[in-house]
Amino acid sequence: MEKRVAVLPGDGVGPEVIEAAVKILQVIERRFNHTFKFTHGLIGGSAIDKHGNPLPNETIALCEESDAVLLGAVGGPKWDQSPSEIRPEKGLLAIRKHFGLFANLRPVKAVPSLLQASPLKEEVAKNVDLLIVRELTGGLYFGEPSRRTENSAVDTLVYTREEIERIVEKAFELARLRRGKVASVDKANVLQTSKLWREVVEEKKKGYPDIEVEHMLVDSTAMKLITNPGAFDVIVTENMFGDILSDEASVITGSLGVLPSASLRSDGFGLYEPVHGSAPDIAGQGKANPAAAILSAAMMLKYSFGMDTEAAVIEEAVNAVFEDGFFTADLAMEGQRVLSTKEWTDKVVNELDIQSVSDCIMYTYA
């Protein structure tokens, strides 16, 4: 059956890494006989330039007609002085809100061949396999009032019980498929929203006696992510804490350029994007690591299309290319060859082709 994918490359390195992800999906299409219909749309700065709006109605309509959304990144210095309502980032927040994508899954897994690029000692980083489950449509990025006057500014942190319940349930369900441990991260020693958060976690955990639950404060979590990241399984937290902790966790793996994400609602519809931003410092230079976007596309296959095998095949190919010692600039060590975004993507394409030939040989002789 045909799957319709809305492709929103966005700004900066967004178009470069999304081109790579689409290329990989096209290989999967051929190999597994699927049909993906890719339709491109605008979001962020590129949409402001054309329509004066970071999330035009055309883009919303395109996503509504699609089975999933693949997004690059938004933002950049060109729009940094824009009024807050028409900043590129508003388009990203608005699409998450419009589609009710409350659950942001950000897996962080250490890959042996990348440990050379991690600033952490190998023995600290090597066994890390954690999942950040970030609440995505509430909290400080959405609360009202949010305004600025000459000498003061206000942002509002609001959470309802229902918003907390659904993300905590999601985290418990996901923990059941993993090692059964949840760290709920808050700032309950100060914030009212965190006190409610903790209360909801305590209530919800009664329905999950098989899950080990720990409450942690966000500041010490930030520390423990660096000193003992292997101790974490699932981390569930509110929007801004999850945003910050996931960028921090990315360094364990060696680069922000390898972290994918899925933003989901309950019915399987999802938006898939790298954790990183538009990286203006390297945009347009062919330096961006496309792994995060490619792995986000794999998450799309798994979570929105139920194509677990195809997703695993992509992950294996990405890891094999790293194993073979091929890296973009963010991961290469001194003296190692640096591949461009396109060159590295072609290595993954090549790896998928090799796997496909070996599949044929196996089927022929089986």
Ligand X SMILES: CC(C)CC(=O)C(=O)O
Q: From the annotation, which residues make up the binding site?
A: 76-89, 96, 106, 134, 219, 243, 247, 277-289
- Which of 5, 7, 13, 95 touches ligand NAI (CB under 6 A)? 13
Please identify, among the stretches 89-97, 142-150, 178-186, 331-339, the one whose residues bind ligand X according to the rule CB under 6 A: 89-97
Which residue among 3, 67, 141, 170 is the active-site one?
Answer: 141
Assess 243 for contact with ligand X (CB under 6 A): yes
Active site residue 346: no
Assess 7 for contact with ligand NAI (CB under 6 A): no
Which residues carry a binding-site annotation for NAD(+)? 76-89, 277-289
Assess 15 for contact with ligand NAI (CB under 6 A): no
For the segment 219-278, give every residue that binds ligand NAI (CB under 6 A).
256-257, 273, 276-278
Residue 284 or 306 having the CB closest to ligand NAI: 284
Residue 16 or 243 having the CB closest to ligand X: 243
Which entry of ligand X, ligand NAI, Mg ion, none binds 17, CB below 5 to 8 A by partner kind?
ligand NAI
Q: How far is the CB of 123 from Mg ion (least distance, A)?
A: 28
Active site residue 159: no
Residue 141 or 344 having the CB closest to ligand X: 141
Active site residue 141: yes
Please identify, among the stretches 87-95, 178-186, 230-238, 289-297, the one whose residues bind ligand X according to the rule CB under 6 A: 87-95
Number of residues that bind ligand NAI (CB under 6 A): 22
- Which of 141, 232, 326, 327 touches ligand X (CB under 6 A)? 141
Active site residue 243: yes
Phi–psi pair at 32, nearest 5 degrees: -110, 10
Residues near ligand X, by CB under 6 A: 89, 92-93, 141, 243, 275
